[in-house]
Amino acid sequence: MRELWIATGNKKKLAELERMLAPLGVRLRTPQELTRPWNPIEDQPDFAGNARKKAQSLAIAAGGVALADDSGLCVDALGGRPGVLSARYGGEGLDDRGRLLRLLDELRAVPDEQRGAHFVCSLCLCGKDGAVRLAVEGRCDGVLLRSPHGHGGFGYDPAFVPLAFHKDATPTTFAELDASRKDALSHRGNALRELLQRLQQDPSLLAN
């Protein structure tokens, strides 16, 4: 069975990737299986750059094909923040909930009609030599509520309502959707569907 290294230590993100990549029929491996620590610094100015850096470093460290994801939330009223800093927004010491509440506090004076935002997911696939084989990006537009709703998902999901639901009497956040409905709409789902299509068209992209 072919193997694919996945450049993430986020268990909830890994679960989404496993679910969406299941049609490939490959064994997924994680950095925790390496014999030495793997902790790349995400210092690139955009999602694509961070995804590429993580995929390249893991592919070389593992000696195998690696896929990396870099994703985050871009808020219109904040000029695109938190963006590439989404997972580290607000500094050290904050968990997902703390970062979400920090963001909502920043937006407390922003009127409802100006609370637009979008999620971005960049995926990069590299061969064992670190050469980029494939790069795709997905996006999901929506709006941010004033308080969290729902207990599913992770990160900023409890405040993000995709455009498909934002005019409903009771808007539904990513955190209130089941896995299949979220996959159908999300930035990561959009990126992974394109990735899958490309890999199914050219299986040699996964060859070690």
Catalytic residues: 70
Residue 74's beta-bridge partner residues?
A: 82, 118
What does the CA dihedral 23, 27, 28, 33 come to, rounded to 10 degrees?
180
Question: Alpha helices of the chain — where are they, by DSSP H?
Answer: 11-21, 47-62, 96-106, 179-185, 187-201
What does the CA dihedral 18, 19, 24, 30 come to, rounded to 10 degrees?
0
Residues 6+ apart with CB under 8 A from 166: 142, 143
Nearest alpha carbon to residue 138 among 124, 120, 125, 155? 120
Strand pairing report for 132-144 and 116-126: antiparallel
Residue 121: how many other CB atoms lie within 10 Å? 24
Residue 43: how many other CB atoms lie within 10 Å? 9
Structure tokens at 134: 């494939």
Residue 177 is given by DSSP the state S
